[in-house]
Structure 1
């Protein structure tokens, strides 16, 4: 009797141990599988994050590169424009001052304007030629000598204190006035020369 009880007890014990081991092995296997799954998911997330970061980095680099190229092109264009403006302004100013400082050229321009007006309407016009006071002594004898060259126009030369360089023509008692000062000539030559100066400075082929 005791032997049977002992056997029964041992069997129950062995079965319990075996069952416990089986459960433990299952739990351990499940834990390992879950750990492996977690590690795999973590690796996948890490790779996804790394790929996304790399993509964002490349996109940012491309954007910055494009922006820097645009800024660089703008800087170059502004520099070209500034150089063109500077060269044009200096050249135009020099030409304008040479023209408006030449008494003979001023006389020729005035006479040409007077001839043109006379030819257009066939009428006699009273023209007041306003010139700088500093140039009056040189211009006055030139106009006296050239008065016979103009038909249908009466020329009167007048010195003006506020006029620096160049001249103005007043037609028929202040009803119409045109200016040929150094400022007007500078503006004219600047607009005329700008494109050509830019082409010469930056588009010249070697």
Structure 2
């Protein structure tokens, strides 16, 4: 009986070990499959992340190159404008100053401008030129003043003059800055064309 009990115990033990080994094999197989699935999923996600990172890097590179091209074009354009501006200023400033300092030329323009205002005008002249203009106009200035034209002198005007109705509703400016701005706007396209071939 003892032998049968030992044999039965051994049989139960062996069946238990065999069953445990089978269950362990199933668990181990499932674990391997799950690990393989997780590894495959991780690889796929890693590949997607790398792919997205490369796409982002490529886009950033394209944007940076585009920005550099645009910035360089703007810088070249700005340099060209500055060069043209400097040359135009040299070409325009001296002749305009010569013309504006010619009292007879300015006097003729003032007389013609006053004819169109029918003596209902305000004339603003440069304060620095007050004595020379009074000397140039002489008695004519007194005639202009007695004719009802209001004459003022302004420190802000360096050359030329401004004229308008006495009610100050508007002023027409003939200052040296105005003439220079006019001639610069006229000369700048020609200067750019001459220097850079019309680009």
> Which category describes the TM-score, using the shorter chain as reference length?
0.5 to 0.7
Segments of structure 1 that go 5 or more residues without pairing to the other structure are 145-157
Distance 2:26 2:165 in 1: 113
Matched, 1:187 2:196: no
Offset, 1:50: 1.1
Alignment of 1:137-148 (within 5 A): 140=136
The counterpart of 1:46, out of the listed 42, 45, 66, is 42
The counterpart of 1:162, out of the listed 152, 155, 180, is 155
Number of aligned residues:
184
Distance 1:99 1:174 in 2: 34
Cα contact 2:192–2:198 (8 A) shared by 1:
no
Offset, 1:43: 1.0
Cα contact 2:125–2:161 (8 A) shared by 1:
yes
Segments of structure 2 that go 5 or more residues without pairing to the other structure are 139-150
Distance 1:165 1:75 in 2: 38
Q: Match for residue 33 of structure 1?
A: 29
Cα contact 1:130–1:168 (8 A) shared by 2:
yes
The counterpart of 1:75, out of the listed 71, 91, 101, is 71
Q: Match for residue 91 of structure 1?
A: 87
Secondary structure of the 2:172 match is strand
Distance 1:49 1:73 in 2: 36
Q: RMSD of the TM alignment (CA)?
A: 4.9
TM (norm. structure 2) is 0.58
Offset, 1:36: 1.0
Larger displacement relative to structure 2 (58-67 or 34-43): 58-67
Offset, 1:85: 4.3
Larger displacement relative to structure 2 (187-196 or 172-181): 172-181
Larger displacement relative to structure 2 (123-132 or 87-96): 123-132
Larger displacement relative to structure 2 (46-55 or 174-183): 174-183
Cα contact 1:87–1:197 (8 A) shared by 2:
no
TM (norm. structure 1) is 0.56
Cα contact 1:169–1:178 (8 A) shared by 2:
yes
Kindly tell me: are residues 91 and 134 of structure 1, through their superposed partners in 2, closer, same or farther at Cα, counting changes over 3 Å?
farther
Kindly tell me: are residues 72 and 135 of structure 1, through their superposed partners in 2, closer, same or farther at Cα, counting changes over 3 Å?
farther
